[in-house]
Structure 1
């Protein structure tokens, strides 16, 4: 697995004060689904529940996915769903598992400029564009899977994304307060903000992507050493 599973216990915030790290170090987080002792029947049950939840999303949207509805669709007891996913947020975030792994794989080992091989500023620009496009495709599910405020910025996938931005910023503007800049840039990419810009303000995808590039350029230029 490329990241800590959504069903892991709550994690502490990303260690913002640490020295620069390499991307592979961000991935040393265990997942319940990675455990070799996971029984084959438990894995089949999990896949069956996710298949049922996927059908509900396709038929009724993310709002139609409840623990009760998934249990009924999969013909299991509601307690089985709670034991496997913890709560509705855990279930919905598990549905995003495949795209999350694909995105992280592209960041770590994919072709440049999203993956390694391009200058860090170019990678940062492409990272935001790719994340905005992913959110446009999955926005309803991402919004429904938003963790509660206490977990929103400390869950494993978001820690990975913020950590990647932090690494790039430390290479682009090493003398800046990169921890705060990483938080600022990630706020632009949060699904609730994506929803507000597109659905409430009616901003086009093209305008939002251009805004990301402008923000990155202004931030990195304003804090670059003369």
Structure 2
């Protein structure tokens, strides 16, 4: 995930296509090493949980030096962000060119509900990773490139509301990983999903 500031003016002026998550350009050997590291991290995270896995364990499983791992990904939150890139690309491609209602061709309210539904699927599948990437440092969630895409897409769908930029931020706040993780034990997935879709429809 690229790091970017997300001031409302810059986000609103940028076409949605330009905000999508794209694979970094790199040498073939670097790309192969990246795949090895990410495969090892994904396997360890799945087996032991994100919090229980150290960067030392990832480096050992991938057969690379710890220094190489830290230079490439920074820390475990950077590793989590890299693992999420591919998942984000799939959802972004569905929004840009997939079938309606998630993709183009459906009314804005139907597309917004479909986005909330699809994003929640993505979030719940990778909740620990998303939570780590969003909370590693203060405001981390709003500096990652993917957030700018989700926000811009939501604001476009809300363009008939009095302040679509603010409303989009407010709606996405309810989809923060930390927030969803806190609500899951109390409310459960189905109640959260239904409530988020009601909230989305109430903004139209």
User: When the two structures are superposed, what TM-score results if normalisation uses the length of structure 2?
Assistant: 0.90
- Distance in 2 between the 1:150 and 1:136 partners? 21
Would the aligned equivalents of 2:11 and 2:152 in 1 still touch at CA under 8 Å? no
- Alignment correspondent of 2:183: 197
Counting only pairs closer than 5 Å after superposition, residues 36-185 of structure 1 correspond to structure 2 as: 38-146=26-134, 147-170=136-159, 172-173=160-161, 176-185=162-171
- Alignment correspondent of 2:24: 34
- Distance in 2 between the 1:25 and 1:76 partners? 33
- Alignment correspondent of 1:212: 196
Q: How many residues align?
A: 203
- Distance in 2 between the 1:59 and 1:73 partners? 13
Greater relative contact order (Cα 8 A, min sep 6): structure 1 or 2?
2
- Distance in 1 between the 2:163 and 2:131 partners? 29
Q: 2:4 matched to 1:15?
A: no
Q: In the superposition, relative to structure 1, how do residues 20 and 41 fare at CA in structure 2: closer, same or farther (>3 Å)?
A: closer
For structure 1, the residue ranges without an aligned partner over 5 or more in a row are: 1-5, 221-226
- Distance in 1 between the 2:154 and 2:65 partners? 42
- Distance in 2 between the 1:185 and 1:161 partners? 11
User: Which segments of structure 1 move beyond 3 Å, counting only runs of 4 or more?
Assistant: 14-22
User: When the two structures are superposed, what TM-score results if normalisation uses the length of structure 1?
Assistant: 0.82
List per-residue Cα deviations over 1:44-99 (Å, max 9, x = no partner). Answer: 11111111111211221111332211111122211110111122111011111221
Q: In the superposition, relative to structure 1, how do residues 44 and 167 fare at CA in structure 2: closer, same or farther (>3 Å)?
A: same
- Alignment correspondent of 1:224: none
Backbone CA RMSD of aligned residues: 2.0
List per-residue Cα deviations over 1:114-145 (Å, max 9, x = no partner). Answer: 11010111101111111112222221222223
Query: Larger Rg: 1 or 2?
Result: 1
- Distance in 2 between the 1:74 and 1:213 partners? 41
- Distance in 2 between the 1:63 and 1:77 partners? 21
For structure 2, the residue ranges without an aligned partner over 5 or more in a row are: none
- Distance in 1 between the 2:36 and 2:47 partners? 17
